[in-house]
A and B are shown apart, each in its own frame.
Chain A
Amino acid sequence: MIMVNGREFPWEEGMTVKRLLELKQYTYPRITVKINGEIIREEEYDTRTINDGDNVQCLHLMAGG
């Protein structure tokens, strides 16, 4: 299990940032991803894996109205 934006989410073996965003259906193009407080560069989304128990933040910097 991992934490995503403060809520529990099932972890899977080999889960990358890209895979997590797909699973969460986070399609917004401007998301800042942090794993245990460390900002992950977009170029690493494909390769950077998430470990069981990690605290992940997917912050949508959405401007809105």
Chain B
Amino acid sequence: MILKEYKYELGKIERGYNNRSLYINLSDNTIKEKEVTQFMKDKFIGGKGFGLWYLWNAVTPETKWNDPENEIVIAHGPIAGITQYPGSGKSLVVTLSPLTHMPMDSNVGGYFGPYLKFSGFDALELQGKAEKDVIIFIDGNKGIVQIMESDIEEKDSHLIAEILTERFAKDEEDKKNVSVVSTGSAADHTLVGLLNFSFYDIRRKAVRLKQAGRGGIGTVFRDKKIKALVVRFEGTKGNLNNAADQGKINRTGIKLHREICLLDDKQNRMRKIGTANIIEIMDQYDLLPTHNYKFGSHKDTYKISSDKFQARVTQGLPDGCWYGCSLSCAKAADDFIPQTGPYKGQKVIVDGPEYENAAGLGSNIGVFDRDGVLELNFYCDTYGVDTISFGTLTAFIMECYENGILDKEKTGGLELYFGNKEAALELLHQMARGEGFGKIAGLGIRRMKEIFIKEYGADPDFVNDIGMEQKGLEFSEYLCKESLAQQGGYGLTNKGPQHDEAWLIFMDMVNNQIPTFEDKAEALHYFPMFRTWFGLMGLCKLPWNDIVPENNKYTDEPAKIPEHVQNYVDLYNGITGKNIDKHELIRQSERVYNFQRIFNIRMGYGKRIHDKIPYRAMGPVTEEEYLSRQERYDKQLKELLGLDPENMTTQEKMAALRKYREEQYEKLTDAVYARRGWTKDGVPTIEKLKELGMDIPELIEVVKKHL
């Protein structure tokens, strides 16, 4: 049954923008168009910038994630939708997170974003709550938007996406023109729900899913009673953005395609195995999170190394999540047969594994079993559970279990020790059913810590040390104990400990290229700003530095991949007809980055106290950890602190190391805030806002209360 239909004039994209967005309120079924103003384009550019701006205007400091005022905004960006340059089909999703209570942003592939753009909109705002489950359909060729009651009984994404692709496509040929956004049954019962964005894989003749994973966006989606979003657009081609200089786009793209063709096999093998290529490398450098980040390597890592997954992943197919992406990192294990749960015995496709899945669902919870990782990966995706949060929160639970904070009585019989794949899978199934200990686990680490302390008598110091969350979001899957810069890369962030802002472990810990606080601060300024830019444009980060030109090592700043930075400048100028340089690129990001920081402050967070990280991220919490790397830590006590470890107990050594490392983090925080133009409490100064042209009255009003 159609609840509301809205017809709109089809338009034409001009230099990367439609200059309008689509607003839908599910409380009263309002559907309307909004103008995308020059102000928005100048200050917020697009993608995540638009999402944050719309959300800012939708909520107040009192708004909670499950209030109707909260929005989910999906936006792409001016470059999104081109088919000439790899990684150009991304959507950015923004909402108030149920985990952090602050704006969350997540970057996702699949066809929805580009099709939304070609259908005539620079962003989609979803506000309000429906009474019953609804499906929202955008027909980008006919100019129709419909809100309809859902009649879909299936609860999980791989089925919902398949059914709706079938329903809204005219025929088999047309399925590639349909993209579905959905989540699964666990998003109804947990705070870690994700969104799956589909694309139709014409070679496999199957629907594939990419995830907007972080921060519980799927939970908000289901709270609004949205079953699915569907867009259909027929007529995709390479020039729909009506670029100012299409030739420049074409030339820039050809250059990178050639690079990938010549060098990928010698470099990161993204086409063969995707991001999973680094599993064993992380292990070899003691960076692979193992047993809740206690350790960085394990004797059984070879069982989940990239070659094991490569053997299971179908090879030889161009696996891009948007047209024209020759980096093709979107891998799939075909004909996988789960051994547990509602889809036991059925043949399914597992999208992945990404590195994060192998680490989070593998080593971090002690599951060194390739097919176990794949099964957890499949169920996380289709149930709509963020794999990173699931891996990290399960690792936390397992350490609590092994330390007697939890037992079988409290977990309803689940023996959640490290390596118990069956128990981890059952925990996940419970999350999907909203039953048992799965309901508690689905609240995330921050709330579990409160429960374990209040109800189970857990030692607050211990659970706060080992619970790998910050701002309410679970850490992603890198061990950062030996890299102060990466501790900042996790901690000194806007949305929480996700490595998409900065990944500096090798530059810092191994290469020692940023030895001083000032060096680290410069890196923690430049890289977060540079990476923010992908989210403003609708771009993927991977083609920036997972493939590099052959002569990159001869450049002044190899870590920045200068030639690729220039590619991005050229793409932006080619699309918009503007004439920015690499410095203005950073300023574009800085405007939005500072805006997001102020948004956090407006919501009651975003200050220095919120940037602290648990000690497990900094150093050894337990004697077991210290003793496992005693030589390393003893050496540091001698060389860095002038102590004689021979005359100290392990507890004394741990205390001295902890004091030192916590002081280092504070000094780093001072240096980074200074470099970013913030006060010692982490508040952007009015001078900084003026310098960026972001001295907008409503931002000044927020910050001046904290200066």
Contact = CB atoms under 8 A, between A and B. Distances in A.
A64 B553 contact: no
Given A5-B510, A25-B284, A61 B278 contact: no
B505 interface: yes
A63 B284 contact: no
B573 interface: no
Interface string A24-56: 011110101000000100000000000000000
B515 interface: yes
A26 B515 CA distance: 20
Contact of A27 (B281, B500, B506, B546): B281
A32 B542 CA distance: 21
Given A32-B553, A59-B511, A64 B506 contact: yes
A64 B505 contact: yes
Given A25-B284, A39-B553, A59-B513, A64 B478 contact: yes
Contacts of A27: 281, 284
B503 A5 contact: no
Contacts of A59: 511, 513, 553, 558
B559 A65 contact: no
Given A28-B285, A61-B553, A7 B559 contact: no
Contacts of B499: 64-65
A54 to B, nearest CB: 16
B278 A64 contact: yes
Contacts of B275: 65
B552 A61 contact: yes
Contact of B548 (A6, A58, A60, A61): A61
B215 to A, nearest CB: 16
A62 interface: yes
Interface residues of B, number: 30
Contact of A6 (B281, B476, B515): B515
Nearest to B558: A61
Contacts of B511: 5, 57-60
Interface string B509-538: 011110100000000000000000000000
Contacts of A61: 548, 552-553, 558-559
B39 interface: no
A32 B558 CA distance: 10
Given A5-B511, A6-B515, A27-B281, A62 B506 contact: yes
Interface string B456-499: 00000000000000000000101000000000000000000001
Contacts of A62: 278, 281, 505-506, 510
Interface in B236-280: 267-268, 275, 278
Given A65-B355, A65-B476, A28 B512 contact: no
Nearest to A5: B512
Contacts of B548: 61
Nearest to A3: B512
Nearest to A4: B512
A39 B146 CA distance: 61
B503 A64 contact: yes
B545 interface: yes
B377 to A, nearest CB: 17
Nearest to A33: B553
A61 B548 CA distance: 9
Contacts of A64: 278, 478, 499, 503, 505-506
A63 B281 contact: no
Contacts of A6: 512, 515
Contacts of B510: 5, 26, 58, 60, 62
B267 to A, nearest CB: 6
A3 to B, nearest CB: 10
B282 to A, nearest CB: 9
A63 to B, nearest CB: 4
B356 interface: yes
B296 to A, nearest CB: 13
Contacts of A65: 275, 355-356, 476, 478, 499-500, 503
B142 to A, nearest CB: 41
Contacts of B513: 5, 59
Nearest to B283: A27
Contacts of A5: 510-513
A65 B241 CA distance: 29
Interface string B344-357: 00000000000110
A39 B558 CA distance: 13
Contacts of A30: 267-268
Contacts of A60: 506, 510-511
Contacts of B285: 28
B281 A28 contact: yes
Contacts of A32: 553, 558
A31 B30 CA distance: 57
A28 B283 CA distance: 11
B554 A63 contact: no
A5 B508 CA distance: 10
A25 B275 CA distance: 22
Interface of A: 5-7, 25-28, 30, 32, 39, 57-65
Interface of B: 267-268, 275, 278, 281, 284-285, 355-356, 476, 478, 499-500, 503, 505-506, 510-513, 515, 542, 545-546, 548, 552-554, 558-559
15 contacts: A5-B513, A6-B515, A30-B267, A32-B553, A39-B553, A58-B510, A59-B513, A60-B506, A60-B510, A62-B506, A63-B503, A64-B478, A65-B275, A65-B476, A65-B500
Report, nearest first, the 9 A-B pairs whose CB atoms are least far apart.
A64-B503, A62-B506, A65-B499, A5-B512, A32-B553, A63-B545, A6-B512, A63-B546, A60-B506
Given A5-B511, A5-B513, A59-B513, 15 more contacts: A25-B284, A27-B281, A27-B284, A58-B510, A58-B511, A59-B511, A59-B558, A61-B548, A61-B553, A62-B278, A62-B505, A62-B510, A64-B505, A65-B355, A65-B478
